[in-house]
Amino acid sequence: MSPVSRFLSLALLALVGCERGPAPGHAVVDFRHSREPGGTPVAAWKDDRLTAEELKQRLEEMSPALRERYQTLEQKREYVEGQARFELLVQEALARGLQNDPEVVASTKRALVSRLMRAQLDEARPPVSEAEVAAYYESHKEDYVRPEQVRLSHIFLAAPRTDAARGETARVKAAKVLAEAKALPPRDFTAFGRLARTHSEEPRTQPLDGDLRYRSLEELGRDFGPEVAEAARGLLASGPGALSGVVSTEAGLHVLQLTGHQTALNLKLEDMREQISNRLSQEKRTRAWTELLAGLERRSGFSVDAATLSRVHVDVSTPMRPASGPPPGTIPAPTPAAPPSSASVERP
């Protein structure tokens, strides 16, 4: 009996005779091409075959254009011989014991983990109910329904209207600051931010280079005065980078630069149902994968000896050594979450 035959016979006997299965870290793998009985062989070799039924199926899985290459007997023979020769090479590799080669084992492990992920997550995709979709929409409604918003940076000089002397001093300084701002490149927001950090007297925004973040016009009017909201509205036609004049409010003077604009948004639940469902499904898949890993660790008695681990010295000064084998496997992440809606707001 050939080495390959002995290997396959032992594998089959192990499957039949060992009720408890292979020992931990060992597996019995059937590498035969045809593992089911039946069918009409179009090609055969020791302990294996390729059937007409499989060949027909493989050809039908090709595009019509590719099938044009296999119309004659010789063309079909070429395809069959290629398939058989591949399987003969597999048997030769097994005869040489290459199934235990570290590189083969590492590749097999990665393939097994990938297949496990598909079985655990893709083939058992968790359902998402209408109630879950509706609850997500309500809890994230600001991403789907919001008023028009603008983003400004400002330089503020405190000058209450009731203090005429202070107001006059502030107006002189504001005019100089505005002249400096106009001398900057229109979209050099960093340079305007430096001016704000140097000159602004607004304690909440001065450390942020004068950035007011995204706000609706109503919020601007409420927080900084209706004059600021009206000035912001006037900057929209010119686009980001546009500068206001000196804007006077009850509290003082502002020099404003428009840095962003978001139009109003009103997406209904019906508009977002499919996207939200996909997102929730992905979140469930991620949780399922995390729970599987935790369960495997728990059932296996996995533990880390922190004291021993701490004594493993990592010397960053030594040169890199040649690889002693394939790199260790890494845990794959579930497929990326669905991309966020183009409507959702990226909060800076």
Give the pLDDT mean for 54-81: 94
- Do residues 19 and 92 both lie within one domain? yes
Please write the tens of the pLDDT for every residue from 138-155.
999 989 999 999 999 999
- Separation between Cα atoms, residue 46 and residue 87, nearest integer Å: 11
- Do residues 205 and 127 both lie within one domain? no
Q: Which token pair is 157?
A: 């000089």
Q: Which helix (H) or strand (E) covers residue 97, if one does?
A: none
Lowest model confidence (mean pLDDT) among 61-70, 137-146, 255-264, 316-325: 316-325
Please write the tens of the pLDDT for every residue from 199-255.
999 999 999 999 999 999 999 999 999 999 999 999 999 999 999 999 999 999 999
Please write the tens of the pLDDT for every residue from 158-189.
999 999 999 999 999 999 999 999 999 989 99
pLDDT of residue 20: 57
| Residue 348 clears pLDDT 60, i.e. is over it | no
Residue 304 resides in a domain: no
| Residue 51 clears pLDDT 60, i.e. is over it | yes
- Separation between Cα atoms, residue 182 and residue 171, nearest integer Å: 16
Domain boundary among the residues 68, 100, 132 is at 100
Give the pLDDT mean for 294-305: 93
- Do residues 255 and 283 both lie within one domain? no
Confidence at 126, pLDDT banded by 50, 70, 90? confident
pLDDT of residue 118: 87
User: Using alpha carbons only, how large is the chain's radius of gyration in Å?
Assistant: 35
Lowest model confidence (mean pLDDT) among 60-74, 110-124, 247-261: 110-124
- Do residues 251 and 177 both lie within one domain? yes
- Do residues 152 and 258 both lie within one domain? yes
| Residue 342 clears pLDDT 80, i.e. is over it | no
- Do residues 167 and 210 both lie within one domain? yes
What percent of the chain has pLDDT above 70? 90
Give the pLDDT mean for 51-75: 94
- Do residues 168 and 245 both lie within one domain? yes
Residue 78 resides in a domain: yes
pLDDT of residue 101: 93
pLDDT of residue 325: 83
pLDDT of residue 15: 41
Lowest model confidence (mean pLDDT) among 255-259, 271-275, 288-292: 288-292
Q: Which helix (H) or strand (E) covers residue 80, if one does?
A: helix 73-95
Please answer whether residues 332 and 117 qualify as being in contact, where contact means their C-beta atoms are separated by less than 8 angstroms. Answer: yes
pLDDT of residue 9: 42
| Residue 338 clears pLDDT 90, i.e. is over it | no
Residue 155 resides in a domain: yes
Q: Where are the beta strands (DSSP E) in the chain?
A: 41-45, 48-51, 145-146, 149-158, 211-216, 243-248, 252-262, 265-266
- Do residues 134 and 165 both lie within one domain? no
Opening angle at CA 164, ends 161 and 169, nearest 5: 105
Q: Answer with the residue of higher pLDDT: 163 or 1.
A: 163
- Do residues 45 and 68 both lie within one domain? yes
pLDDT of residue 138: 95
Give the pLDDT mean for 255-266: 95
Domain extent for 66: 3-100
Please write the tens of the pLDDT for every residue from 24-40.
778 888 888 888 888 99
- Do residues 245 and 156 both lie within one domain? yes
Residue 311 resides in a domain: no
> What burial class does residue 122 get, using C-beta atoms within 10 Å of its C-beta: 0-12 exposed, 13-18 middle, 19+ buried?
exposed
Please answer whether residues 284 and 132 qualify as being in contact, where contact means their C-beta atoms are separated by less than 8 angstroms. Answer: no
Give the pLDDT mean for 51-61: 94
Residue 227 resides in a domain: yes
Residue 49 resides in a domain: yes
Domain boundary among the residues 263, 279, 306 is at 263
To the nearest 10°, the Cα dihedral for 316, 322, 326, 332?
Answer: 30
Residue 164 resides in a domain: yes
Give the pLDDT mean for 118-134: 87
Residue 306 resides in a domain: no
- Do residues 136 and 276 both lie within one domain? yes
For residue 240, what is the domain's CATH number?
3.10.50.40
Please answer whether residues 216 and 147 qualify as being in contact, where contact means their C-beta atoms are separated by less than 8 angstroms. Answer: yes
| Residue 313 clears pLDDT 50, i.e. is over it | yes
Domain count for the chain? 3
Q: Where are the beta strands (DSSP E) in 193-303?
A: 211-216, 243-248, 252-262, 265-266
| Residue 19 clears pLDDT 90, i.e. is over it | no
Lowest model confidence (mean pLDDT) among 5-9, 190-194, 282-286, 308-312: 5-9
Q: What is the mean pLDDT of the chain?
A: 88
Q: Answer with the residue of higher pLDDT: 11 or 185.
A: 185
Confidence at 57, pLDDT banded by 50, 70, 90? very high
- Do residues 193 and 243 both lie within one domain? yes
State the DSSP string of 141-194.
GGGTEE--EEEEEEEEEE--TT-HHHHHHHHHHHHHHHHHHHTS-TT-HHHHHH
